[in-house]
Structure 1
Amino acid sequence: MSTQATGTRFGVLGTLEVHGPAGPVAVPAPRQQVVLAMLLLEPGQVVPVDRLIDAVWDDSPPATARAQVQICVSALRRRLADGGLPGTIVTRAPGYFAQVGAATHDLAAFDDAVRRARFAATQRRPSEAAGLYGTALALWRDEPLLGVPSRLVRSAAERLAERRFAVVEEHVAVLLELGQAARLAGELGELVEAHPFRERVRALHMLALAQSGRRAEALASYQRARQLFVEQLGLEPGEELRRAERAVLAATPSRPAESTPPPAPPDGGRAARLLPLAAADFAGREGLAARAERLLTGPGMPIVALTGIAG
């Protein structure tokens, strides 16, 4: 994580931490921890006082809650100022915000790196995207905000952990594009065991296995997933897993599910057309076809339904 020359750092992607120019800034009071965590979870965004009250006292705030939040903020400002960080907490109706940015705050830096990684991926620059995803994930030190005594903070931390997992999946998809399937297969297998109902992880694992020459194992993984989904959830696997199975069966598992389309072939060449051919026109039923055409080309937004057996 990049920091200013002063060593200033605000951290929520692990235990709550603040480092100022003179070193660590201690925030031992539980209520102050909750208020600071809430502000750092939404860097640059105003957090209303009512939301801070909910975070500190859950559903049963005292009559003096608003005044006590003001006392917490004042105490935090003194601690931060003593640590060389004056002006970090700014008052703005209807609450407060933390004046921090990607240069000093791990969550802001994470969001910035992920945004740039996704842009690079859409521009078909997988090496750049992989590096940026790696930078973003390296900012995580542990479970976010572990030990901060607030139900609202814990809920926010769980959402953060879910965001991290989604970025892990995106990172893996890019690495598969770069031909690193053999290295990733084992790690993805562990993730599948830990998160058996997470479809994209299993789909990526199947593709990694297939790209490593282990198609039978990839198909066996799909069958295990299908059995698990049907027995435990009463559901068939979703489209992403089915798409991965089709890719393995077709022996074309070169691209992970939901990745962007390949670039157009150079020199005016014709790319392979893998989609099925368009359906042929109806044979017979001229009267019905003519009636449907008149309805569909008429005014308004008509809907025509065709029923009956195929053929």
Structure 2
Amino acid sequence: MPTIATIGPLTDTVLERREREVLHSIGCGLRDDEIAAALGIPEDTVAGHVARILAKLGLRDRAAAIVHAFDCGLVVPGDGPRTAGPRTGVGRAAGPKVRISALGPLQASADGRPLKLGHLRQQAVLAALALCAGRAVSQRELLDGVWGMEQPVTNVVPVYVYRLRKALHTGDGPHSLIEHDQCGYRLVPGAAEVDVVRMEELVVEAGAAVRAGEPAEAVHLCSRALDLFRGEPLSGLPGPLAELERLRLTERRISLVRRKSELQIRLGRLSEATAELVALSAAHPLHEPVAAMLMRALFRGGRQADALTVFDRTRHRLSDDLGMPPSRMLRRTYEMILRGDEASLGLTSTTR
């Protein structure tokens, strides 16, 4: 039996050495008879140790003991336990870097190999951790964000985290990608690449390029950010958090297309801008700022009649679907195009 490394202070002070060895074995998935054989003690003695471990740690059953063994750092997903010696490299993950994508159906992969993330509620827990990268998420936040008003009758969060640790473990290193402390759970910093984080980094870089007077580079960076989207963000995931993030990230994508189109128009790349705005307007026919930008792009391309048609189509959709008239902004765009007032159709600044 390998030597047990120093673990969490609660487990260290409450459990005796033999009990820690038994808990370690439970965390590795061994049955009582296997633990007895590994430790060289009778099976009924193992059963007594298990009962005392549950009582001392206030755990409900063996499944809760397995989760506790992972949360306190005694074992990690994979075939073997921690080895003896100090715990070095805490906060870092060895082996292939895991990539998590939320800008579409939730996916995770390691070295291009897709990872199985389990059912949708479990995926929603991972999505919450990925979208809150850099900070711990409490069990209460996870329960409210993933289940909302339909709270589970049992404490399933640690069980889902345990399963996710196994799913995300690449097998090439000793460290879990999800760590636990008194504040809750979080992804180990630097252990996974999250596409939402990368998208926001590219948006910042695009803003810097604009301020540096490099609009073509800014267009390129916006394109790279948009390429990360693979459909509806967090498609199919349940819970209030996923729903809010779907709305936020969808609006983020719309904002990115608008910024890119503004830059393309300024660079004289009208056909490219118009094509993207046509597609965006078709996907979001009630989004008035998109309709207004498409109208301006068409007008600048010498297509005044098409620009006015966009207004009529949007006006009818607003009336039929929402029972409301066009906004003042959209009406003013229409009036300026109708007058041919090109000077008043200047684009807003892209600097943020």
Normalising to structure 1: TM-score of the pair?
0.69
Aligned AA (2:251):
E
The alpha carbon displacement at 1:134 in A equals 0.5
- AA aligned opposite 2:169: A
Residues 260 and 164 (structure 1), Cα distance of their counterparts in 2 relative to 1, 3 Å cut: closer
Deviation at 1:159, TM superposition (A): 2.1
Q: Given the alignment, which residue of 311, 323, 327 partners 1:237?
A: 327
Deviations 1:40-59 (A, max 9, x none): 12222322211211234321
- CA contact under 8 A between 1:196 and 1:202: conserved in structure 2? yes
Pair 1:246-2:336 in alignment: yes
- Which of the residues 7, 22, 25 maps onto 2:115? 25
CA 76–11 in structure 1, closer or farther in 2 if over 3 Å, else same = same
Q: Which residue of 2 aligns with 1:95?
A: 184
Please report how far the alpha carbon of residue 239 of structure 1 lies from its aligned counterpart in structure 2 after TM superposition. Answer: 3.0
Secondary structure of the residue aligned to 2:186 is strand
1:77 aligns with 2:165: yes
Deviation at 1:260, TM superposition (A): 5.2
Q: 1:223 to 1:93 in 2, by over 3 A?
A: same
Distance 1:123 1:246 in 2: 32
**Per the alignment, do residues 253 and 217 of structure 1 end up closer, same or farther by CA in structure 2, a change over 3 Å counting?**
farther
> Share of identical aligned residues, percent?
32
For residues 149-185 of structure 1, the C-alpha deviation after alignment (integer angstroms, 9 at most, x for no partner) is 4343233223212211121111111111111113333
Please tell me the root mean square deviation across aligned C-alpha atoms, in Å: 3.2
The within-5 A match list for 1:95-174 is: 95-100=184-189, 104-174=193-263
Residue deviations 1:46-73, cap 9 Å, x none?
22211211234321324532xx211221
Q: What is the rounded CA distance, in whole Å, between the counterparts of 2:112 and 2:301 in structure 1? A: 51
In structure 1, distance between residues paired with 2:328 and 2:172: 52
| Counterpart for residue 302 of structure 2 | 213
Tell me the secondary structure at the aligned position of residue 262 of structure 2. Answer: helix
Please report how far the alpha carbon of residue 235 of structure 1 lies from its aligned counterpart in structure 2 after TM superposition: 4.1
**Is 1:51 aligned with 2:136?**
no
Displacement, 1:133?
Answer: 0.4
Q: Please state how far the C-alpha of 1:139 moved relative to its aligned partner.
A: 0.9
1:282 maps to what in 2? Answer: none
Instruction: List runs of 5+ in structure 2 lacking aligned partners.
Output: 1-93
What are the Cα deviations for residues 254-289 of structure 1, in whole angstroms up to 9, with x where unaligned? 742x2259xxxxxxxxxxxxxxxxxxxxxxxxxxxx
Matches of 1:227 and 1:145 in 2, distance apart? 31
The code of the aligned residue for 2:132 comes to: E
SS of residue in 2 equivalent to 1:47: coil
Structure 1 gaps of 5+ residues are 262-311
Q: CA deviation at 1:226?
A: 5.3
Aligned residue number for residue 307 of structure 1: none
- The AA in structure 1 aligned to 2:304 is R
Decide which moves more: 215-224 or 12-21: 215-224
Counterpart AA for 2:258: E
Looking at structure 2, the residues matched to 189 and 207 of structure 1 have their Cα atoms a distance apart, in angstroms, of: 12
Q: Please name the residue that 1:10 is paired with.
A: 100
Q: Secondary structure at the match of 2:134?
A: coil
Letter in 2 for 1:79: A
2:132 corresponds in structure 1 to: 42
**Cα distance between partner residues in 2 of 1:182 and 1:253:** 21
Cα distance in structure 1, aligned partners of 2:316 and 2:168: 55
Amino acid aligned to 1:125: E
CA distance in 2, matches of 1:57, 1:225: 37
2:266 and 2:125 map into 1 onto residues whose CA distance is: 42
